[in-house]
Every structure is written in C-alpha cells, then in structure tokens.
C-alpha cells in the first residue's frame, strides 16, 4: 500500500512538476556545495547551474499538459499556457547564467550560493505560473522578491547597498498592500482560489449585487505589487537607482525574470475581475500611457546605459500593460509575443553592456564613443538589438509592436486616444535609443584599447542580434504558438 502510494506520488511529480523538482535538487546541491567546496571549484558552479537548467528544460517535455493537469489537491496547475512561460523562464535563465561570469569571479567563495539564489528565483517564478489560489501566488511572488533582494546584495560598489535599500523598503510596503487587498477579497467572498472567486463574481453579476467600489479598491491594492515589480508609474522611482547600483548580470536578471513572472500571473488575476469593472481597464490604460510617456521622456536625459535600460524596461512594461488591459485572447497572445521579443532584445542589450564593462569601460554614453572604428561587429549587433527594442522595421520588434497595437486598436473607440499617445511615446523612446547608437558612431581621436576575452557574453550578444532578424522572418510560427498558449489561458 505504501509502495503504491509512493509510486503514485512519483508519477504525479513527473507529470506535473518535474522541472521544479529538478531545480529544487540543484538548489539544495548548490547550498551543500557552498559549504564544502572552496574557491578553487568556483567555475564548476556555473556549469552545475547550466546543467540543472538544461535538465529542467528537457523535463518540461515529460509534463502532461492536455487537458489541464492539477496536482496537490488542485493547488498546482499545468497547461500549455504555464508551460509556455516555464520554458521562457528557463531559456531566459540559461542565458542569464552565461552572463553571470563577473559575479562568480568577484565572489569566488560565494559562487555556489549565488547560483542557489539565482535558481530559486527561477523556481518561484515557475511556481507562480502554476498557482491556482491567491495564497500560493503571494508566497511565490514574495519568494521571488526575496531572491531578488538577495541577489542585489551580491552587487559590488560603495553606494550600491544604499541604492538597493530603497527597493527593499518599497518592496516590503507593496507586499503588505497585496495582503491587504487579498484579505478584502477574502472578506468579500470567503474564498482564495481563482476559480471559486470568479464563480462568486459571476453569480454576483447575475444577481446585480456585487460591491463595485470594494472590488475595485482591493484589486488596486493587489495590483500595486505587480506595478512595483514592473516599474510602472506610481512605483517607478526605485528602478533607475537600483539598476545603477546593481551589477550588470543582476540588472539583467531584474529586468527579465520578474517581468516574465508578472506578465504570466497578471492575466490570471485580471481574468477574474476585469470583466466586471470597466473603470479598471481605463485606469490601467492610463497607468500604461503615463508610464510610456514619462519613462521615455526620462530616458532622454540619461547618460548611464544602465539607467537607460531601466527606463526602457519601464516603458516596455507599460506597452505590454496597455496590450493586456484591453483583455481578449488576441491581445493576450500579442502580449506574449511582445514579451518574447522584449526578453531576448533585453538580454542582448545587457550582454552588450557586460561586454563593455569587461573591456574596462564604464557604462556611460561617453564610453561608447568611437567603438565603430574598433569593434564594428559589436556595434552592429548592439544597433540591431536597440532597433528591435525601439520597434523599428527590419527586426522582430516591429512585428511585436504592430501586433500589440493592432490588438489595442481592435478593442474599441475608447482606447484610440491611448493608442495615439502610446505611439507618440514610442517615437520619444526611439530617440532615446538613437542617442546610444549615435554615441557609438562618434569619432574619437585617442586610440582606445578594446580587449574582450569573454566569449559567453559576446556569444549571447550576437545570438540575440541574430534572433531579432530571424524571429522577424519566422514570426508567424511564434505567433501561432503564442495564440495557442493564450487560448489555453
């Protein structure tokens, strides 16, 4: 009997949460190894992490995804939508691991520790997609936030701790707000599971009896934590400072993993509420548009590449939120495609910054001067990536922009002004990226030593630039995939 139960548990494990299980094993291994292995083996840690991520990536094929697979008494869900996001997170984690060379060289004694925290961030992001109730969702998001704080503490630099402290405090406040919103919802319908709550509201809508204001208020409270993680408008102040204080690989991590996590989870929350509160749609659209305009205007005046990337993340999240708040299958798939393109362009841009950093320069626009005469391929790759982020023609960024804005256009007259403002905002953003490109093409008299031995960062830079062009050509396949995932949402 006991044996039968064990095998049953094991089958469930393999068919529903195998990748998570593998990650847990590797996190534990990393923690144990950090005790026993000394600094001589620090290089091993990166390979262990890469191996773990690839193993988890392979194991996603074992998952049972159709029909929706539940585990642990319905607390853990797997379908095409969640698997899409899990694969995205794992690929992203793979690239980010390759970018982490600096971190483990600077802190050799803590290399294994670093990767344990790194992998646990991925793990909790993956669990957040599979969550079916607000409690486990909150726990996952909070743990993801914790691993971000821990990773930030690995950053070097005199004032980085001070810059990061603001992030920590604000993060604590918004997670308290999330809990407050959650308790209001619980008070309203005495449920925590998504399904039950949406059922409650469906019934309430039939009987015309739901308390609108309380619902909107609690939703706003819960959204605060999402807005904070994405760097959207009321909570965008932490973003540039934290990114400036963080080391480059951690900046890359912070601008990818939480963004994917939030955009994987947001549709689940919005699906419950958004059909009943039209005002929320307008509020979200306003937030998105204000973020786009403010973020791109602030990006215009920055000289630090990291700060530009921070504002860029904020604006891109704003565009995605605008796509999300009109809420249909079409718009959801467009958001997924935009996210897909944004993630790879973003990793490529951070890889370019890391290459720059490794060649002994700082990350201001002045340090980019004259690069075209010394590193033409680097400049071309970086230019392609920036063009893609700006959403201009021969790259996949254009297709993504076209798709997401067409989704906004088809959602009704009321969103057209928002669409127009967002389009104008993207033009401002184009100029912000253009300043970076122009700096690289500037002539410089003194001959500069450019020396890079970091294969992995350069490889990622070129791979991402190549992907931008390839995805543009074969966008159709990926769009179909995104539509499939969105359909199963």
Distance in angstroms (rounded) separating the CA atoms of residues 268 and 204: 19
CB of 441 to another protein, least distance (A): 10
* Interface residue with another protein, options 6, 32, 173, 420 (CB under 8 A): 420
Q: Is 405 in the site for another protein (CB under 8 A)?
A: yes
Contacts of 294 (CB under 8 A, 6+ apart): 233, 236
Between residue 152 and residue 181, which ones bind another protein under the rule CB under 8 A? none
Closest distance to another protein from the beta carbon of 443 (Å): 12
Minimum CB–partner distance for residue 476 and another protein (Å): 5
- Report whether 381 contacts 353 (CB < 8 A): no
Stretch that binds another protein, among 14-22, 263-271, 408-416, 456-464 (CB under 8 A): 408-416
Nearest to 56 by CA among 32, 81, 92: 92
Binding another protein (rule: CB under 8 A), the pick from 402, 463, 469, 489 is 402
Residue 383: CB minimum distance to another protein, A = 11
For residues 99 and 90, give the distance between their C-alpha atoms in angstroms, rounded to a whole number: 14
Q: Which residues pair with 77 in a beta bridge?
A: 70
CB closer to another protein, 258 vs 370: 370
**CB 405, min distance to another protein, A:** 5
CA distances from 205 to 172, 191, 196, 267, 275 (A): 34, 17, 14, 20, 10
Using CB under 8 A, pick the residue from 27, 80, 259, 419 that binds another protein. 419
DSSP 283-323: HHHHHHHHHHHHHHHHHHT--BHHHHHHHHHHHHHHHHHHH
Q: Check if the beta carbon of residue 236 is closer than 8 Å to that of residue 255.
A: no
Residue selected from 14, 24, 87, 423 as contacting another protein according to rule CB under 8 A: 423
Residue 256 is a binding residue for another protein (CB under 8 A):
no
Write the DSSP symbol of residue 131: B
Among 274, 289, 341, 475, binds another protein (CB under 8 A): 475
**Helix residue ranges per DSSP H, 207-277:** 212-230, 238-245, 248-273
155 with 245: CB under 8 angstroms?
A: yes
Contact pattern for another protein over residues 54 through 83, marking x by CB under 8 A: ------------------------------
Q: Which is nearer to another protein, 298 or 411 (CB)?
A: 411
Cis amide leading into 67 (omega within 30) = yes
Please say which residue, 279 or 480, places its beta carbon nearer to another protein.
480
Q: Is 403 in the site for another protein (CB under 8 A)?
A: yes
CB of 411 to another protein, least distance (A): 9
Closest alpha carbon to 149 in 129, 165, 125: 165
Neighbours of 73 (CB within 10 A): 7
Q: At 156, is the secondary structure helix, strand, or coil?
A: coil
Residues 374 to 393 in contact with another protein, rule: CB under 8 A: 376, 392-393
Q: Give yes or no for residue 443 binding another protein (CB under 8 A).
A: no
For residue 395, the minimal CB distance to another protein (Å) is: 11
E strands along 373-479, which residues?
none
Nearest to 141 by CA among 123, 153, 128: 128
Q: Return the exposure string of 233-261: e unless at least 16 CB atoms fall within 10 Å of the residue's CB, then b.
A: bebbebbbbbbbbbbbbbbbbbbbbbbbb
Q: Which of 426, 439, 454, 468 binds another protein (CB under 8 A)?
A: 426
Tell me the CA end-to-end span of the chain in Å, nearest whole number.
37
Place of tokens 């001067």: 369
Q: Smaller CB distance to another protein: residue 156 or 301?
A: 301
Q: Which stretch binds another protein (CB under 8 A): 25-33, 49-57, 119-127, 399-407?
A: 399-407
Count of chain residues binding another protein (CB under 8 A): 31
Of the candidates 441, 433, 458, the residue with the CA atom closest to the CA atom of residue 372: 441
Measured from the CB of residue 424, what is the shortest distance to another protein in angstroms? 6
424 lies in the site for another protein, by CB under 8 A = yes
Nearest-angstrom CA–CA distance, 221 and 215: 10
Q: Which is nearer to another protein, 9 or 416 (CB)?
A: 416
Residue 450 is a binding residue for another protein (CB under 8 A): no
Q: Nearer Cβ to another protein, position 214 or 416?
A: 416
**Contact yes or no for 418/378 (Cβ under 8 A):** no
Q: What's the closest the beta carbon of residue 337 comes to another protein, in angstroms?
A: 10
- Of the listed pieces 165-173, 262-270, 350-358, 479-487, which binds another protein according to CB under 8 A? 479-487
Binding residue (CB under 8 A) for another protein from 427, 455, 459, 487: 427
Q: Indicate whether 413 belongs to the interface with another protein (CB under 8 A).
A: yes
> By the criterion CB under 8 A, which residues form the site for another protein?
376, 392-394, 398-399, 402-403, 405-406, 408-410, 413, 416, 419-420, 423-424, 426-427, 430-431, 473-477, 479-480, 483
């Amino acid at each position: 009997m006991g044996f039968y139960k064990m095998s049953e548990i094991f089958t469930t494990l393999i068919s529903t949460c195998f990748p998570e299980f593998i990650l847990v094993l590797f996190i534990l291994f990393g923690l144990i190894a950090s005790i026993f292995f000394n600094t001589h083996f620090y290089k091993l840690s990166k390979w262990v992490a890469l191996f773990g991520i690839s193993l988890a990536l392979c194991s996603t094929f074992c998952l049972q995804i159709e029909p929706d697979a539940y585990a642990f008494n319905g607390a853990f869900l797997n379908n095409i939508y969640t698997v899409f996001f899990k694969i995205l997170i794992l690929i992203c984690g793979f690239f980010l691991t390759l970018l982490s060379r600096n971190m483990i060289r600077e802190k050799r004694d803590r290399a294994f520790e670093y990767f344990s925290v790194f992998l646990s961030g991925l793990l909790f992001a993956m669990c957040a997609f599979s969550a079916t109730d607000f409690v486990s969702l909150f726990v996952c998001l909070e743990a993801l936030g914790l691993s971000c704080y821990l990773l930030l503490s690995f950053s070097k630099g005199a004032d980085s701790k001070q810059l990061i402290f603001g992030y920590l405090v604000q993060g604590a406040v918004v997670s308290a707000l999330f809990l407050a919103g959650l308790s209001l919802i619980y008070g309203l319908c005495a449920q925590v599971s998504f399904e039950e709550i949406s059922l409650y509201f469906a019934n309430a809508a039939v009987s015309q009896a739901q308390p609108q204001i309380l619902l909107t208020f609690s939703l706003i409270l819960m959204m605060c934590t999402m807005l904070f993680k994405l760097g959207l408008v009321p909570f965008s102040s932490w973003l540039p400072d934290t990114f400036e204080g963080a080391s480059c690989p951690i900046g890359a991590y912070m601008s990818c993993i939480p963004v994917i996590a939030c955009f994987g989870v947001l549709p689940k929350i919005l699906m419950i509420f958004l059909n009943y509160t039209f005002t929320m749609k307008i509020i979200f659209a306003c937030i998105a548009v204000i973020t786009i305009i403010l973020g791109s205007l602030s990006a215009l005046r920055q000289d630090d590449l990291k700060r530009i990337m921070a504002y860029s993340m904020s604006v891109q999240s704003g565009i995605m939120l605008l796509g999300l708040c009109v809420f249909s299958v079409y718009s959801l798939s467009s958001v997924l495609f935009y996210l897909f393109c944004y993630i790879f362009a973003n990793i490529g841009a951070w890889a370019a910054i890391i290459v720059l950093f490794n060649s002994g320069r700082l990350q201001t626009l002045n340090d980019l001067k004259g690069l075209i005469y010394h590193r033409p391929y680097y400049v071309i790759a970086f230019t392609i990536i920036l063009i893609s982020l700006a959403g201009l023609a021969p790259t996949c960024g254009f297709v993504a922009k076209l798709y997401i804005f067409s989704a906004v256009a088809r959602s009704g007259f009321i969103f057209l002004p928002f669409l127009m403002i967002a389009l104008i905002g993207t033009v401002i953003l184009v100029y912000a990226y253009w300043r970076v490109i122009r700096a690289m093409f500037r002539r410089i008299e003194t001959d500069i030593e450019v020396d890079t031995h970091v294969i992995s960062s350069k490889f990622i830079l070129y791979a991402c630039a190549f992907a931008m062009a390839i995805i543009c050509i074969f966008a159709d396949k990926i769009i179909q995939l995104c539509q499939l995932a969105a359909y199963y949402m």
